[in-house]
């Protein structure tokens, strides 16, 4: 068994999150869950994820004589509703959740978000353990404590911060992910690398094994992504100092494209385009070395394989950009890269972001046709 990598950080006063990554990490649960909460455990998951990996999870739990009760939610974004949240809470209570119990969220980012929110609310809060099964969740959303459901008015409109006590990533669970989801997750990985100079230096060696989905490389990239995020979250747990805002690199344009495409672009695909635009903007406004920018551009194209936008109806995207909730009356706020692992937050007009995106499209087309 490859070595497990782990670290621990404090996401706020009196709080602690442990992270364990690697082949066989699931085995860690048996030891840790009873330490976190001695009472009854629940596992919130979705039907397809539980079908694929639930049995294995329950087997690991049984090793500690735990018998977690499954509570299943609809698949994908349909899990993140007020109604589903209410249903989950009712199930948890009806089936015997007590204050000495806990909740494992086993699934992608959607399961993590609704499971985390249920854990924050049930009995005024019980511990949550995140066991992500998508690369996006494993490298990004499982850590940081953000939980949410959607409202008709928009995504993630209701939620709270509830930090997981433990995040366990076993790359074996990611083996069943469709390629498209895996590539989407790689977008968050490459974003994380840009925000961490040491990770960035490792990337050349990780590029082809990541593309080939080799476990040791996936585990290392996930670990480095989470450690980078852990450091940022620890430095600004409640997003008050603006440090955590750097994690939005590529997401300003990315979110607008995701919405304008009516979600035909996945989050990772849209953010891949957002990263390409952000690199152009970083050269213009952050003084990013054009040679470094060009290399990073190539990595995003190679790992995320952002789809060509020629047949995508995204004309309305500047409208979504202007409505960006990270902006205010004084205009958009965007993150630019100023050097390896270094960022700055700038104000920019939607028009300027739009022009950076058009330049990114030109470069993408030239690279592809050339």
228 counts as binding ligand NAD under rule CB under 6 A: no
* Shortest reach from residue 323's CB to ligand NAD, in Å: 17
Nearer to ligand NAD, 113 or 283 (CB): 113
Beta partners for 342?
A: 339
Q: How far apart are CA 309 and CA 146, in angstroms?
A: 31
Give yes or no for a contact between 238 and 179, defined as CB atoms under 8 angstroms apart: no
Residue in 36, 49, 281, 296 binding ligand NAD, rule: CB under 6 A: 49
Radius of gyration of the chain (CA): 20
The DSSP 8-state label assigned to residue 131 in this structure reads E
Angle at 225 between CA 77 and CA 304, to 5 degrees: 60
Task: Give the contact letters, 160-179, x = binds to ligand NAD (CB under 6 A), - = no.
Answer: -------------xx-xx--
Beta partners for 119?
A: none
- H or E element in which residue 26 lies: none
250 counts as binding ligand NAD under rule CB under 6 A: no
Beta partners for 303?
A: none
Give yes or no for a contact between 236 and 242, defined as CB atoms under 8 angstroms apart: yes
The DSSP 8-state label assigned to residue 3 in this structure reads P
Residue in 109, 164, 306, 307 binding ligand NAD, rule: CB under 6 A: 109
Query: Where in 59-98 is the site for ligand NAD (CB under 6 A)?
Result: 75-77, 80
Residue in 11, 18, 50, 113 binding ligand NAD, rule: CB under 6 A: 113
Residue in 81, 130, 133, 252 binding ligand NAD, rule: CB under 6 A: 133
111 counts as binding ligand NAD under rule CB under 6 A: yes
Nearer to ligand NAD, 176 or 308 (CB): 176
Residue in 140, 196, 269, 324 binding ligand NAD, rule: CB under 6 A: 140
* Shortest reach from residue 305's CB to ligand NAD, in Å: 16
Query: Where in 269-288 is the site for ligand NAD (CB under 6 A)?
Result: none
What's the distance, Cα to Cα, between the start and end of the chain in Å?
Answer: 44
DSSP codes, 211-272: HTT-HHHHHHHHHHHHHHHHHHHHHSTTS-SSSGGGGGTTHHHHHHHHHHTTT-S-HHHHHH
Nearer to ligand NAD, 155 or 215 (CB): 155
Q: Which residues bind ligand NAD (CB under 6 A)?
A: 46, 48-49, 52, 75-77, 80, 107-111, 113, 133-134, 136-137, 140-141, 144, 146, 155-156, 173-174, 176-177, 181, 267
């Amino acid at each position: 068994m490859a070595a497990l990598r782990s670290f621990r950080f404090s996401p706020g006063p009196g709080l602690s999150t442990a992270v364990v990554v690697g082949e066989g990490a699931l085995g860690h649960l048996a030891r840790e869950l009873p330490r976190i909460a001695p009472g009854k455990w629940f596992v919130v998951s979705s039907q397809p994820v539980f079908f694929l990996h639930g049995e294995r999870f329950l087997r690991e739990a049984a090793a500690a004589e735990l018998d977690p009760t499954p509570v299943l939610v609809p698949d994908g974004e349909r899990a993140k509703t007020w109604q589903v949240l209410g249903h989950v809470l009712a199930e948890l209570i009806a089936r015997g959740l007590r204050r000495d119990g806990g909740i494992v969220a086993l699934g992608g980012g959607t399961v993590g978000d609704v499971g985390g929110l249920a854990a924050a609310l049930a009995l005024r809060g019980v511990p949550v353990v995140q066991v992500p099964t998508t690369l996006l969740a494993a490298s990004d959303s499982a850590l940081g404590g953000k939980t949410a459901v959607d409202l008709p008015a928009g995504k993630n409109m209701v939620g709270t911060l509830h930090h997981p006590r433990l995040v366990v990533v076993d790359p074996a669970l990611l083996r069943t992910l469709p390629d498209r989801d895996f590539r989407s997750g790689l977008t968050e990985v490459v974003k994380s690398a840009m925000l961490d100079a040491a990770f960035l230096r490792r990337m050349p060696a990780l590029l082809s094994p990541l593309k080939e989905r080799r476990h040791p490389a996936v585990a290392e990239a996930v670990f480095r992504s989470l450690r980078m995020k852990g450091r940022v979250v620890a430095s600004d747990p409640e997003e008050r100092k603006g440090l955590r805002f750097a994690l939005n690199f590529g997401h300003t344009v990315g979110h607008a494209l995701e919405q304008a495409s009516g979600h035909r672009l996945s989050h990772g695909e849209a953010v891949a385009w957002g990263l390409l635009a952000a690199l152009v903007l970083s050269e213009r406004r952050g003084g990013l070395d054009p040679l470094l920018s060009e290399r990073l551009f190539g990595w995003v194209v190679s790992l995320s394989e952002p789809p060509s936008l020629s047949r995508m109806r995204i004309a309305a995207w500047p409208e979504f950009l202007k409505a960006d909730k990270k902006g205010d009356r004084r205009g958009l706020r965007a993150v630019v890269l100023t050097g390896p692992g270094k960022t700055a937050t700038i104000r920019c007009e939607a028009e300027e972001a739009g022009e950076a995106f058009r330049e990114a499209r030109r470069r993408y087309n030239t690279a592809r046709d050339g």
